[in-house]
């Protein structure tokens, strides 16, 4: 996915945060809920990856979004990544 495509699907309220991730050299992993029986099917989550300051402290994001805190994320699969 291109950076322009990312900002087309991203809620405007989050543009500044995500630009900050990209400006510091990190990537953005876009995860989408693929569970057809879920009321949140099609919902996306955006996570930073690439450094110790990121939500996902890996050089490449995993195919399945890991559980984070109290969030169970088994239904979220990697849709795309964006890096500069």
Map tokens 């989408």 to a residue. Answer: 32
Across the chain, the runs of DSSP E, i.e. the strands, are 27-33, 44-49, 76-82
The CA distance from 60 to 22, in Å, is 14
Tally Cβ neighbours within 10 Å of residue 48.
21
Q: Tell me if residue 6 falls in helix, strand or coil.
A: helix
Per-residue pLDDT tens digits for 31-43: 999 999 999 999 9
pLDDT at 62: 97
Per-residue pLDDT tens digits for 6-40: 999 999 999 999 999 999 999 999 999 999 999 99
Q: How confident is the model at residue 56 (pLDDT cuts 50, 70, 90)?
A: very high
For residue 80, give Cα distances in angstroms to 5, 25, 70. Answer: 11, 17, 24
Q: What residue spans define the domains of the chain? A: 3-82
């Amino acid at each position: 996915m291109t950076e322009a495509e990312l900002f087309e699907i991203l809620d405007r309220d989050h543009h500044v945060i995500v630009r900050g991730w990209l400006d510091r050299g990190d990537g953005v992993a876009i995860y989408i809920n693929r569970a057809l029986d879920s009321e949140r099917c099609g919902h996306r989550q955006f996570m930073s990856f690439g450094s110790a300051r990121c939500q996902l402290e890996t050089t490449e994001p995993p195919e399945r979004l890991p559980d984070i805190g109290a969030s169970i994320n088994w239904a979220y699969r990697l849709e795309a990544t964006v890096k500069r």
